[in-house]
């Protein structure tokens, strides 16, 4: 799966991340290989581009994953803890 691309109002070139999480008025951008986090105010975000398979919502994003989020995009393969969380949710499905 490819990375998630973030387009902001203040940068000409798009930025690639392994996860982009939306919380209230803030976007949390994560690069797994560098273990780095970038915070971007929501009003500075033009567009986020990612595969439909990488979309996560509410309970799929635990609080332990960079503070959780209302929704977001994540390359789950880059985050073993998130992958385990999603497998736990799937095993609880009726």
Strands 55-57 and 36-41: unpaired
pLDDT at 31: 95
Give pTM, 2 decimals.
Answer: 0.90
Strands 15-17 and 55-57: unpaired
Looking up tokens 């990612």 gives 50
- At 92, is the pLDDT very low, low, confident or very high (cuts 50, 70, 90)? confident
Q: What percent of the chain has pLDDT over 70?
A: 96
Distant-in-sequence, close-in-space partners of 29: CB < 8 Å, separation ≥ 6: 6, 15, 17, 19, 20, 21, 37, 38, 39, 40
Each residue's pLDDT tens digit, 54-65: 999 988 999 999
């Amino acid at each position: 799966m490819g990375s998630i691309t973030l387009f902001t109002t203040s940068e000409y070139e798009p930025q690639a991340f392994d996860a982009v999480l939306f919380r209230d008025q803030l976007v949390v951008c994560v690069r797994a290989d560098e273990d780095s986090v970038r915070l971007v105010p929501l009003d500075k975000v033009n567009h986020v581009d990612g595969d439909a398979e990488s979309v996560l919502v509410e309970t799929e994003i635990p609080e332990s994953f960079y503070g959780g989020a209302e929704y977001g995009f994540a390359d789950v393969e880059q985050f073993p803890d998130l992958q385990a969380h999603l497998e736990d949710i799937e095993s609880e499905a009726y």
